[in-house]
């Protein structure tokens, strides 16, 4: 199997990868590993402060909230937590310190990341009635590498009214998507056969070229795009062309003029794989981790089969 990042990618957290010398079942195994097996951090436990307190101005605030605690805990679980591979975090069930202790004592700097938040609604004399609490209000107690990323700081968590406060400690641990979706690092994971566009009838293709369409990078869709050998192999351009062909396809009234002037030829054993991460991992790291997960699993399987046969 060969893999190659398509030119111009990754863009943000999205990526396209050309995988060749393979078959659909292998590519699908990578897809499933990305969704279910690649480990990432997510908040899995929240300790809320409860009760009534008085601040230094004598104002009384209470821990009542418009959202139930469990809904808030769920929202916290969905915040992408930056998952740095270099910090040497381990899964809670593999942590030397926590493996053999009772449930309530589990959790140490080796296996969890700690966050806290302390917010209160507007003061009694304030003009506004509500204050929104954002993911950006969360403070990291552990290493700053785990700080919520700037792009996720605008995620709203809840609103607080006058006289309300919200205070909690939140614990993030490593997990896998197969146990809970909050640990799934990638979304929109898909693949399609890699194809090459072939210009068969340059004159008839005018039905498409005269529409003045362009590719996503702004290149005009015309005969020049096909080059001397009358073919497009560039993955991005092929995908853009596929979309453009809908303008001359069945039901458009242009299909007779166009007369299959351009056709798509599948490249055997090659697939265009695309996905987007939630921001907890960069897409290249996530893809490599998926391949590692697969290879370690198949090695283990090999050992098991060997011992079963011995």
Q: Applying CB under 5 A, which residues contact Zn ion?
A: 95, 97-98, 108, 110-111
By beta-carbon proximity to Zn ion, the closer residue of 96 and 246 is: 96
Minimum distance of Zn ion from residue 56's CB (angstroms): 37
Nearer to Zn ion, 27 or 95 (CB): 95
Closest to Zn ion by CB, 110 vs 187, is: 110
The residue among 109 and 136 lying less far from Zn ion, judged by its C-beta, is: 109
- Return the number of the residue (111 or 290) whose C-beta is nearest Zn ion: 111
**β partners of residue 28:** none
Q: How far is the CB of 173 from Zn ion (least distance, A)?
A: 9
> Closest approach of Cβ 90 to Zn ion, in Å?
7
Query: What does the buried/exposed string (b/e) look like for 55-66 if buried means 16 or more CB atoms within 10 Å of the residue's CB?
Result: eeeeeebebebe
Question: Cβ of residue 183: shortest distance to Zn ion, in angstroms?
Answer: 17
**Taking the complex as a whole, how short is the minimal distance between the CB of residue 109 and Zn ion, in angstroms?**
8
Strand, helix or coil for residue 305: helix
DSSP 105: G
Nearer to Zn ion, 98 or 241 (CB): 98
Instruction: Tell the smallest beta-carbon distance from residue 73 to Zn ion (Å).
Output: 21
Say if strands 130-134 and 60-62 run parallel, antiparallel, or are unpaired: unpaired
Nearer to Zn ion, 115 or 226 (CB): 115
Rg from Cα positions in the chain: 26
Q: Would you say 106 or 182 has its CB closer to Zn ion? A: 106
Closest separation between CB of residue 48 and Zn ion, Å?
A: 22
CB of 103 to Zn ion, least distance (A): 12
Token match 């799934």: residue?
A: 184
């Amino acid at each position: 199997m060969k893999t190659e990042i398509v030119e111009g990618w990754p863009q943000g957290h999205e990526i396209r990868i050309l995988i060749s010398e393979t078959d659909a079942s292998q590519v699908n195994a990578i897809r499933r590993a990305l969704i279910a097996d690649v480990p990432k951090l997510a908040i899995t436990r929240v300790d809320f402060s409860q009760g009534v307190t008085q601040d230094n101005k004598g104002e009384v605030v209470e821990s009542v909230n418009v959202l139930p605690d469990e809904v808030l805990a769920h929202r916290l679980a969905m915040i992408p937590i930056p998952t740095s591979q270099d910090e040497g975090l381990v899964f809670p069930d593999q942590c030397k310190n926590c493996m053999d202790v009772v449930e309530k004592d589990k959790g140490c700097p080796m296996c969890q990341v700690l966050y806290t938040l302390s917010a209160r609604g507007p003061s009694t004399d304030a003009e506004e009635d509500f204050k929104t609490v954002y993911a950006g209000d969360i403070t990291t107690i552990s290493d700053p590498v785990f700080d919520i990323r700037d792009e996720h700081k605008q995620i709203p968590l809840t609103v607080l009214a006058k006289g309300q406060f919200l205070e909690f400690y939140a614990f993030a641990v490593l997990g896998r998507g197969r146990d809970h979706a909050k640990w799934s690092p990638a979304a929109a994971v898909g693949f399609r056969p890699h194809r090459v566009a072939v210009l068969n009838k340059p004159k008839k293709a005018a039905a498409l070229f005269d529409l003045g369409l362009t590719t996503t990078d702004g290149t005009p869709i015309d005969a020049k795009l096909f080059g001397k050998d009358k073919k497009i192999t560039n993955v991005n351009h092929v995908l853009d062309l596929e979309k453009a062909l809908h303008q001359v396809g069945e039901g458009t009234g242009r299909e007779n003029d166009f007369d299959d002037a351009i056709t798509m030829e599948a490249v055997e054993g090659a697939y265009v794989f695309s996905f987007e991460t939630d921001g907890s991992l960069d897409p290249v790291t996530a893809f490599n981790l998926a391949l590692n997960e697969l290879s370690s699993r198949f090695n283990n399987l090999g050992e098991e089969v060997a011992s079963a046969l011995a």
